[in-house]
Chain A
Amino acid sequence: MYRYDEFDHTFVMERVAQFRDQVVRRLNGELTEEEFRPIRLMNGLYLQLHAYMLRVAIPYGVLSSRQLHKLADIATKYDRGYAHFTTRQNLQYNWPRLEDMPDILAELASVEMHALQTSGNCIRNVTADQYAGVAGDEVEDPRICGEILRQWSSLHPEFSFLPRKFKIAVTGSPRDRAAIKLHDIGIVMVKNPAGEVGCEFWVGGGQGRTPVIAKCINTFVPKRDMLSYSEAILRVYNMHGRRDNIYKARIKILVNEIGIEEFTRQTNEQWSHIRNGALDVPAEEIARITAYFAPPAYETLQDNPPSFVQNRDSDPAFAAWVRSNVAAHKIPGYAIVNISLKPIGGIPGDATDVQMHAIADLAERFSFDELRVTHEQNLTFADVRQSDLHSLWVLLAEKGLATPNIGLVSDIIACPGLDYCALANARSIPVAQRISERFADLKRQHDIGDLKIKISGCINACGHHHVGHIGILGVDKKGTEFYQITLGGSADENASIGEILGAAFSYDDVVDAVEKVVDTYVKIRTSRDENFLATVRRTGVAPFKEALYAVH
């Protein structure tokens, strides 16, 4: 993984000192809360319903064991012994005190981390495919591009006061696990006919009140031009993005209002002035960063070693976990392991300090000292020997971390909702917990198959409900929580926005409604090979509407 050099170290230490001064000025009244707000937001510090919330940046979701141990220590020392992994591959603390914030940042800096630009109207933490470097179909490791963008976007003098937040995601595979089409900029690493690797740029995707699938703006930007091209897009957006209405301020609205052709023309006009200039990424820098993501020292192994096959065949619980949580690795004899942070009835994405320490130890022992956070709020060990899978599973299970539900009905994305968030209209977490309990029978979950449920507690869509195979949106009706259900959304390479089924359901009824939708799918699917999304795309929402609303 990437390691800080002298420049990166100096930068974060200077950032800690700067924020320490800002907090002092806030506490002594020199800064009003209104003046402090954009400053703290740029540092991932929100004022929530009950307390401050601190969001720590995990660049493109990659963590070392040492970093995870530190995050666990901070949870113990400054929070209530747990933390929450987010859909931007970040980590949140829900109960820190403002006075402690500079010290927390100093602790983060000691393990090469920070909280810069995890909120506010600036370029946010860049996200990437959690299978970076190990997916068989990968053109190039997206973390290289991600790291170059991370550095360029850090305290950018021109783009720190944008009309609205700005999210960038990168995937190196045609199979999109990073939801790049739902981002302000999405980048796909591609090869051109000459065999050179470059960036395909997508622009203007997003969720929130107005969900939009991104449009392709350039099919091949050479890697050396990735920063000048990004800067051109951002400059057009910064100058012309709407600032009169917070709900129309994202780049997707600008692109829709002026049209992708005009947006492309303006971007190219800006690009023509800055291309081949100081923003060129020199080949030496690309090589320097690429070297950090060189493959680890893999052993020469065979796929399906006998011990693994024997355990899988003799232990159905282990086999179920392998089926849902283990993915193919590009190197023979290795596997990708997904650790579910969605135990039945648990809070999606939460982990205790004890669990974090345990995971860090296991990553050190089984996966080259490294792990990744996924945008679906789970964790990934990218490089596990297949012969170690059974031992790892046993140890994970001891800590309650072996729930075999990755990609299944209880692997739910949920925003913090009304339990924590000042913006929410409705609770999200308890709905996720109740759905998870309703489908607690893992055999039933495996029979249902791939199904992504995503829950947002308000229209800002932090829980990605628009792109859930089943999306659930909390709304407020005269002071009572109601839940609207959408079907057919998807965040992958065939991204789509879900369609609203009909009238919303009460808090008490929403779980029954979800179950009815799932049972309808099981009834009408052509076979077990036709997953939920494929069925909805084949039949449309009519049979589901009928099941939920028809008066018989």
Chain B
Amino acid sequence: MTILGELALWVAMLLATWGTVVGFLGGRTRRPALIRSAQRTTYALCAVLIVSSIGLLTALVRHDFNVQYVASYTSRNLPMVYTIAAFWGGQAGSLLFWALVLSVFAALAQWVTPRRHNHLLPYVAATTSFIVLFFVVVTLFAANPFERLAFTPMDGRGLNPQLQNPGMVVHPPMLYLGYISISIPFAFAVAALFTRRLDTGWLHAIRRWTVVSWLFLSIGITLGMWWAYVELGWGGYWAWDPVENASFLPWLTMTAFLHSVMIQEKRGMLKKWNIVLVLVSFLLSIFGTFLTRSGIISSVHSFTQSAVGTYFGGFLIVIALGVGILLWTRLPDLEAEAQLESMVSREASFLFNNLLLVGIAFSILWGTLFPIISELVRGTQVTVGPPFFNQVNIPIGLALLALTGVGPLIAWRKASVRNLQRQFAMPVAAGLATGAILLALGFGDFYAGMAISLAAFVLTTITQEFVRGIGARHRLHREQYLTAFFRLVGRNRRRYGGYVVHVGIVIYFVAFAGMAFKTEMEASLKPGETTRLRSPFGHTYSFTHLGVSQYRDLNRVVSAATVEVTSDRGGRVGVIKSEKRQHIDSFGRASFEPSTEAGIHSGLREDIYVVYAGSVAGTEEAVYRFTLNPLVWWVWFGGVVLVAGGVVVMWPGGGPTRASLRRAMPGYAATLVGKPDQVGAGTPA
């Protein structure tokens, strides 16, 4: 099967080359035969990459340790789910996985895109084929998962224990899906530039794709946070590590795009900006991969250094230059059709939202690259860590949170005083009241207090929108409140789904604010000894060390230390166990450094996070670190809300109405802008 798999990769290389050439020529000449061929090539490419992936999966599942990749990442005693997850667990396999998913997306893009965008599709096929070509070439020449060893080991080395976690089975593919799906909007942007069809048509073609990739990125990042939290044992979920930053950057630019695209659809403004955001998001997704695989930035997450980094660097330069030149020659076609009319308008608030998002992205990029920049400029590496990122991004983030409340409610073009009063009187009062209550309670942290007050402001704006919408339906259509709610959301999915996403974001912010009150201590306890830790919520926990037990489990030897936790309010909390695991191969030999499994007791108010650091010289006296992490549960809950909102936004069916179809036609936005009387203040987004 590996022979077939590798052969399929070579075929994929030829097909991708063909698809690139024929797609480009088809786009230029508009000859139907070439266009059909380009389209079929994307389907064929998808098929051969599926064959190639099956080849690798078969080798993994059959424990074919003659294949170097299989021997390096799996072992006989590795559970099956992780054996399959090893497909994307290592360098070479993850590149093949990338090519596979991209080819699936590319085929889908050809298949599902409505006919009215046909003129774009040949160039889309050319662009996606070119990207697939790159990944196939890297896989074949720099990191081949089908490479064989000169001998067949009895057993493989096994998967890194930190990757043996359910979160790690889904986190990388989710993040990859996010990264990869950006390629499709990117391909449409390139196609629009080539064809000079730069009206809103291409934006409609990619609308779902942008939401999909944004959703996958969000899920991937949140799962990454969860994995870091439960598996890395340092008691937090975000460390501003270069790899985390790299995944956050395209998320920020995509978020900016999802907002600014509405201005182009409504007002025909920001055409250059939008196309640049799509192009930059794609470049950042490649840049992130380059960063993590080239070893130019030291990160605890890095892959092995290899030639792969050089390939990615080269690809990045080629693509950046290529689209840069293409964009330059098309600038005259990207003139705005309207001008900003007032600073007190939705356009202006979206513009500031974009500036802040891009500002955050830039500061994170700068901080991540600062070791390199400082070495180039001053000859000495200077690094910045979490304090830098927090110091810069907390104030910007709070301003962004405030705009989350303002943007959706303020009128297009120019808001009147009445519009402002009607929309913001209640929310501002709610925000101020929350701030006053926090002050009166003697709340300690300024930024956390700001975050909570702004959260109250934003939540009130959203609640007000739902209440008014439901009320209006109830009065006009005499609907029951529940029916009114579902119809309201169902008929304006983008708008109300967007509100739900905003609720998710607000929950994240409040949860992040909770981390300002993280409390921790370390203690060395003999069995039966107790230590106490005061929670930021005012009560006190007692931790009693029960003892250390050792046993053999599946593919590891475990030392487990157990504490009993009680609270001075509410009594017994429960027993928490933290493990030190020594993974072993099927001959019982140690295969990795020992790893720590934190014990977590999760609650709505706070998590109790217990790490067993080791025992004192063979006795049962254990060294612990106890951490109280406020509001962590809400991070995960915020993620769920956000995904739910995203699903509402992109839920298929319902079908576009006649009016929205008409709006989708080229030139309609221009006509609309020309007749201001047709655009009422407060037009739904």
To the question of whether A and B form a pair in one complex, the answer is no
Write the residues of chain B forming the contact surface with A, with a CB cutoff of 8 angstroms: none
